[in-house]
Amino acid sequence: MDGFAVFALLKKAFDMYALLFLIFAAYYFTRESAAAFWLRYSFILLLMAVVMLQYELPTLIALLPISAYQGILTVALCYTAAVKWTVHPAEKALALTIFLLFGTIKMLSPYQLEIFYVCEMFISLLLNFYIMFLFLAKIYRDFLMEENVFQVIGENTADILFDYRFIPEPYFSYVSPAVETLTGYPQKEFYKNSNLFEELTAPSDREALRGLFQAHGQEILIVQWQKKDGDYIWVEFHNSPHYDGDELLSIEGVIRDITEWKLAEEELIQSRQAKQILFSYISHELMTPVTSILGYAKALESNVIEDAEKHGEAVSLIVSKSIVLKRLIDDLLQLSKLESNQFSFQFAEVPVAVFFEEIIRKQKKVIEAGGLCLNHSISRRVTEKNRTFIIDVERMEQVFDNLIGNAIKFTPKNGEIRIFCGLDSTRKKAVFEVRDTGMGISAKSLPFIFETYYKDKRTSEVNPDGSGLGLSIAREIVKGHQGDIFAESKEDKGSRFIIIVPLYARGD
């Protein structure tokens, strides 16, 4: 094998693999994979050419199969570009022209005339520039596509996406539009002020936020932000810093509004605390009557009490404490069902005036038996148009039993209880008032009297057997009627309880 044959074989091999490279590149632009047989055939033809040259066949004859294969590669290349490429027609026409010229010249080598060498060099340079242009154009198109996808995600996500750069100086290169929804500040404010994140953060959390923007590795931080309108929200930072060696270049991150989750967490904590209070309260309240019952029962069992009169007193006390214990358990069960919406109401349409008259009829004897005077009145606006509402009569009577019972307990003899029925200013709600001239409620205790298990110290001294659940039950019953209940009071001047219940909607 002489030197010309070796040079011709090497050149033919390089030309063939240049065309194979173009085939694979053409398929790459279509996002498909080229078939592996193209490479297998090239190895077979290359080995065939080597064997033929070893047997000293003419160089042109030995390289003829490779030239034919180059012609096939050229046709396949032009077909792929013409059929499968989705580019501008002018760009496709240029590609077909260059591919056809390049493949033809490579196929004729080393058969072409010497003048073809100049054309081959020119076409090769043109092909190189075109391939470079093609790849740059594809990279640019992919970049625009990714940027568009990122922009769509950024503009439609409820979370804030941001990119914060530190070189040449700190600035936001991107903040998603959700930032205006969450904070009330438009994007341009963050582009102008690179420190706005920190300014939004509550003073107690600013040091932690500064540390987050200087930390190594991915960091998560929960801080409180103050919005433009003054409201506070809880947000969670998820940061991914980017470094060049030890130098912090930028931080990409996501900021999520977790206010609802934070409030739910606080409610859960409060619920746990309420359960602890409940268990403490139940154990304390149940312990008192149970201790008395157990003590006197053991005394009776061991015949410690021999006197007949004291024996009867012990039995009476056991009965009395048992009643207190049963009432406490009943109250707890009822309140539990009301608060968990497991309590069923028997609603019915009832005239307001009829209900009021029934309340007065039932409570009059109770009030007078307690040594107090009853003063009651009803507005003409209630009676003149026969106003009605939808209520559970038995449960609403329970509310008045509780309020009037408390008034009797905490009002001295010869005092007065006033019960009034009227309408609110819109004439769409019935308003009931229960007033007394008793000891009143302290300003300190007034905001909490409807809270479960709350007992005022002064009222506990007057009524030590009270469970502290009556007003809580009354509030839940009124809420079940879509109504409201509240109180006004001054110490030693009496109390005023107001119940508001919606009227049945009729055309007046």
- Find the DSSP H helices in 85-232: 89-108, 115-156, 178-183, 187-192, 196-200, 206-212
Q: In one letter, which amino acid is 209?
A: L
Query: Token pair of 290, please?
Result: 């149970």
Predicted confidence at residue 508, as pLDDT, reads 47
Helix (H, G, I), strand (E, B) or coil at 74: helix
Q: How far apart are CA 479 and CA 460, in angstroms?
A: 26
Helix or strand holding residue 300 (H, E): helix 259-301
* Tokens (6 digits) for 301: 């069992």
Say if residue 306 is exposed, middle or buried (CB neighbours under 10 Å; 0-12, 13-18, 19+): exposed
State the alpha helices, DSSP H only, in 157-258.
178-183, 187-192, 196-200, 206-212
DSSP strand E in 352-400: where?
373-378, 388-391
Q: Which amino acid is at 503?
A: L
Q: Is-contact 163 250, C-beta < 8 A?
A: yes
- What single letter denotes the amino acid at residue 448? F
- Helix, strand, coil abundance in the chain, percent, nearest 5: 60, 20, 25
Report pTM. 0.45
**Domains in the chain, ordered, with CATH?**
3-152 (no CATH), 157-257 (3.30.450.20), 266-339 (1.10.287.130), 348-502 (3.30.565.10)
Distance between start and end Cα atoms, the chain: 117
178: Cα separation from own chain's centroid: 15
Per-residue pLDDT of the chain (508 residues; tens, 9 = 90+): 567 778 778 888 888 888 888 888 888 777 777 788 888 888 888 888 888 888 778 877 888 888 888 888 888 888 888 888 777 788 778 878 877 877 777 777 665 555 566 666 667 667 767 776 777 777 777 766 666 656 666 666 778 888 888 888 888 888 888 888 888 888 888 888 888 888 888 888 888 888 777 755 457 788 888 888 888 889 888 888 888 877 888 888 888 888 888 888 877 776 676 666 656 656 656 666 777 778 778 877 777 776 777 778 778 878 877 876 776 777 667 767 666 666 778 899 999 999 999 999 989 988 998 899 999 999 998 888 888 999 999 889 989 988 998 899 889 988 999 999 999 988 899 999 999 999 998 888 888 888 876 766 666 565 555 556 788 888 988 998 999 999 999 888 899 999 999 998 765 4
Instruction: Name which of 86, 71, 257 is nearest 181 in CA terms.
Output: 257
State the burial class of residue 147 (Cβ atoms within 10 Å of its Cβ: 0-12, 13-18, 19+): exposed
Q: Is 252 helix (H, G, I), strand (E, B) or coil?
A: strand
Token pair 């859960």 is found at 268
Nearest to 433 by CA among 366, 483, 384, 500: 500
State which amino acid sits at residue 10: L
Counting every residue written for the chain, the total comes to: 508
**pLDDT at residue 462, rounded to an integer:** 59
- Residue in 208, 446, 481 with CA at minimum distance from that of residue 338: 481
